[in-house]
């Protein structure tokens, strides 16, 4: 397996976990603010 493929899969996994982290934090913020709907 070429190194490029390994790096690509690693990056994809990192981005995946990063996105899930940010969405989780966003949801927590939404719950905290509550009164202000961020999604229109």
- How does pLDDT run across 1-40, given as a tens digit for each residue? 688 888 888 888 888 888 888 888 888 877 766 655 555 5
Provide the token pair at 24.
């989780």
- Give, as one character, the DSSP assignment of residue 17: H
Predicted pLDDT at 27: 84
Using CA atoms, how far residue 33 sits from 6, 12, 15, 29, in Å, is 41, 31, 27, 6
pTM value is 0.44
Provide the token pair at 10.
């690693």
Predicted pLDDT at 35: 58
Q: Output Rg (C-alpha) for the chain, integer angstroms.
A: 16
């Amino acid at each position: 397996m070429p190194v490029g493929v390994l790096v690509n899969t690693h990056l994809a996994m990192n981005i995946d976990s990063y996105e899930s982290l940010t969405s989780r934090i966003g949801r927590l913020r939404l719950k905290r603010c509550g009164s202000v709907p961020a999604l229109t």
